[in-house]
Amino acid sequence: MDRNTVIGIVMMFLFIVGYSYFTRPSEEELALLEQQNIARQDSLQKAAELAQTETKLINSLDDTLSAGVVADPVRDSIRMAILAEEQASRYGAFAAASSGEGKEIALENDKVKVLINTKGGLFSEAIIKDYTKYNSTDPIALWNKDLSEMNLWLNYPAKGAVNAKDLVFDVIRQEDTPNGKTAVLRLKTNSPENYIDLVYTLAPDAYEVKLSMQFIGMDRLLDMNKDNFIQWNAVGIHNEKGIEWERQHSSIFFREQGQGRDYLSEAREDDDILDAPLNWMAFKQNYFSAIVINDANFGSNAILRSYPPENSEDTTVTMFYEAKLPLALSPSANSTSELRYYFGPNDMDPLKAMEVEELDRIIDYGWWIFGWVNRVLVRPVFNWLSGFIGSAGIVILVLTLIIKLLLFPITWKNFLSSAKMRVLKPEIDEINEKHKDQMEKQQAQMALYKQTGVSPFAGCLPTLLQMPILYAMFRFFPAHISLRGESFLWADDLGAFDSILQLPFTIPFYGDHVSGFTLLMATSTFFYTRMNSTNMPTSTQPGMPNMKLIMNIFPFMMLFFFNKYAAGLSLYYFVANFISIFQMVVIKRYFVSEEKIRAKIDANKAKPKKKKSAFQEKLAEMQKLQQQNAKKGKK
């Protein structure tokens, strides 16, 4: 093991230790979590003790009165009195609402259907009607109804934390209005002047549901300043073709007040306690999201957590989501919290229509300039082409052709640079054979480049200019919902992987299928790199990797890397490679003559040498001195 390897291992170890240290929760965050867990456990324990006490009292009463001495109506009255006393002890002014069965009411338009449970008063299910699951006619369900819950926790100082899930709301009215379909649920108390109204409005032809939480006269019962929050736990449902790919693009996205969009790690367990007030939060899956927005912001110290199933082979659940969202209520007699929910696709148009800052950035089109390229250039062109071309596959072909035509000037300069380097290759090889000293070799090569007027870096800039487009495409096709469910040739879903052969076994890091478009892409990449690297030397400087070997191995690695990627992405890269090969053949055969390049290089060599500038002379002296010192060191 050499010194560089040891240094690298030590630096990696220090990085891991440093990362663990700086990202660990603070003592305040740990204390806050502990307090919340204790409060919640106490509340659950009290509810369990109440239920146990009620059962014991009723059983004892039944045993005592079972002889029939007391009539059944009297016994029932005694039982009800005991229950009422226990409910009043636990729920105080909400005691009357703690008995009875809840029911579900529905709000529905052409795009979405939501179910609201009167026991707790919040959403129990959200279904997107205008999209269906992969290879099914079932609409998209955003979470598992049986395993998920949305609770409203109230801080009732005289009684402790109260979960509205234990209380039944009355349906005051449910009607159609000009603004959409409306439902009003009321949580009553022992006084008609004190109650909580939940006013739901489902906008027509939209994915948005508005919720107005109105606390009327509740300042007499609740502590409005703290510990009132919404607890939302959801279990994501598998809706796409490949659950592994879907899981890798599922997480919680959010935005704190005055900050940019952020998110928890995708496809693995992660959590965060937010210091700043929370503006919005999204339980995001690959193509669909359940989002809650508070234009006035939730309170500080919101807790977010997401994690995949323990069993990686689980084919039903994509992600588990947990959120604790503090309600910032005013301590006035009538306090209101206005929330907006979005249950819909990860599509820029409806997300933009919500008019919430950075909400559309839950679509991972890439960061910085790459995301800008996709949002401002690629997406509008793709949607415009889709307006009159019925096949998404043909749209990708045409889009690729347009991009390659726009990049053609860069391709031309890159090819000219490569042609010049191919012409100079025999002389460069001769220099490499003649000079064994590395510094002498570099000086001779730079002198040759200067004499012939060829720059070895001329092809670097065109390549760098193409990188934003290449990476933007890498982000665009897997994220753009218009490709979801679109078929082309043998691919039944361009938004997921394609398969031309299902294997009876699983290859590590590869999978259990063979992607046809990935195979075409890797093959075309191999031939393109071979054609484009004919002037690249097989041997390199000591300690440096063999770039020609790496470029030949790279297409093989792409077979593993892209086998589970969206078929639309592999199709784009294949078509782009095919066009590049075609351009290279045509340019070489009809437009660029290496004989003419050779003649121009010879003419440049015949020109008298230009006098060196003072800087160049000083640089040459420094190099000569370094060379002399190096020779002395060898002696």
Summarize the confidence of residues 124-129 as an average pLDDT: 95
Which carries the bigger pLDDT value, residue 147 or residue 432?
147
pLDDT at 101: 87
Summarize the confidence of residues 438-452 as an average pLDDT: 68
Summarize the confidence of residues 602-613 as an average pLDDT: 59
Residues 6+ apart with CB under 8 A from 60: none
User: What letter represents residue 526's amino acid?
Assistant: F
Q: Are residues 213 and 238 in the same domain?
A: yes
Q: Confirm whether 440 is domain-assigned.
A: yes
Distance CA(4)–CA(205), nearest Å, equals: 62
Distance CA(44)–CA(215), nearest Å, equals: 24
pLDDT at 613 over 60: no
In this structure, of 163-172, 293-302, 537-546, the range with the lowest mean pLDDT score is 537-546
Q: Are residues 334 and 388 in the same domain?
A: no
Residues 6+ apart with CB under 8 A from 635: none
pLDDT at 158: 81
CATH of the domain at 329: 2.70.98.90
Q: Confirm whether 200 is domain-assigned.
A: yes
Tokens of 239: 């809706």
Distance CA(574)–CA(528), nearest Å, equals: 11
pLDDT at 351: 95
Q: Are residues 346 and 399 in the same domain?
A: no
pLDDT at 74: 52
Summarize the confidence of residues 219-233 as an average pLDDT: 89
Q: Are residues 510 and 594 in the same domain?
A: yes
Residues 6+ apart with CB under 8 A from 286: 240, 245, 246, 249, 250, 346
Q: Nearest-CA neighbor of 563 among 483, 464, 497?
A: 497
Which carries the bigger pLDDT value, residue 624 or residue 369?
369
- pLDDT-based confidence at residue 24 (cuts at 50, 70, 90): low
Q: Nearest-CA neighbor of 469 among 566, 348, 372, 397?
A: 372
One DSSP character per residue, 23-76 reads HSPPHHHHHHHHHHHHHHHHHHHHHHHHHHHHHHHHHHHHHHHTTSSS-HHHHH
Q: Are residues 128 and 48 in the same domain?
A: no
Q: Confirm whether 616 is domain-assigned.
A: no
Name the percent of the chain lying above pLDDT 90.
Answer: 39
How many other C-beta atoms lie within 10 A of the C-beta of residue 291?
A: 24
- pLDDT-based confidence at residue 208 (cuts at 50, 70, 90): very high
**Integer-rounded Cα radius of gyration of the chain:** 34
Summarize the confidence of residues 538-545 as an average pLDDT: 50
Interior CA angle at 168 toward 162 and 171, to 5°? 135
pLDDT at 84: 58
Distance CA(194)–CA(180), nearest Å, equals: 28
In this structure, of 109-113, 253-257, 326-330, the range with the lowest mean pLDDT score is 326-330
Name the percent of the chain lying above pLDDT 70.
Answer: 71
pLDDT at 322 over 80: yes
Q: Are residues 360 and 434 in the same domain?
A: no
Distance CA(329)–CA(336), nearest Å, equals: 7
pLDDT at 22: 53
Which residues share a beta bridge with 188? 195
Q: Are residues 528 and 564 in the same domain?
A: yes
pLDDT at 65: 47
Q: Confirm whether 204 is domain-assigned.
A: yes
Summarize the confidence of residues 563-589 as an average pLDDT: 88
Q: Are residues 83 and 122 in the same domain?
A: no
- pLDDT-based confidence at residue 12 (cuts at 50, 70, 90): low
Distance CA(331)–CA(226), nearest Å, equals: 10
Q: Are residues 444 and 493 in the same domain?
A: yes
Q: Are residues 147 and 291 in the same domain?
A: yes
pLDDT at 143: 93
In this structure, of 219-223, 287-291, 311-315, 437-441, the range with the lowest mean pLDDT score is 437-441
**Mean pLDDT taken over the chain:** 80
Which carries the bigger pLDDT value, residue 590 or residue 481?
481
What is each CA distance from 354 to 123, 155, 358, 391, 408, in whole angstroms?
20, 31, 10, 30, 39
Find out whether 232 and 150 touch, Cβ atoms under 8 Å: yes
Interval 242-265: pLDDT, tens: 888 899 899 999 999 989 899 999
Q: What range defines the domain where residue 92 resides?
A: 27-64+71-100
Q: Are residues 93 and 162 in the same domain?
A: no
Number of domains in the chain: 3
Summarize the confidence of residues 530-540 as an average pLDDT: 58
Summarize the confidence of residues 20-43 as an average pLDDT: 54
pLDDT at 186 over 90: yes
Q: Are residues 254 and 347 in the same domain?
A: yes
pLDDT at 591 over 60: yes
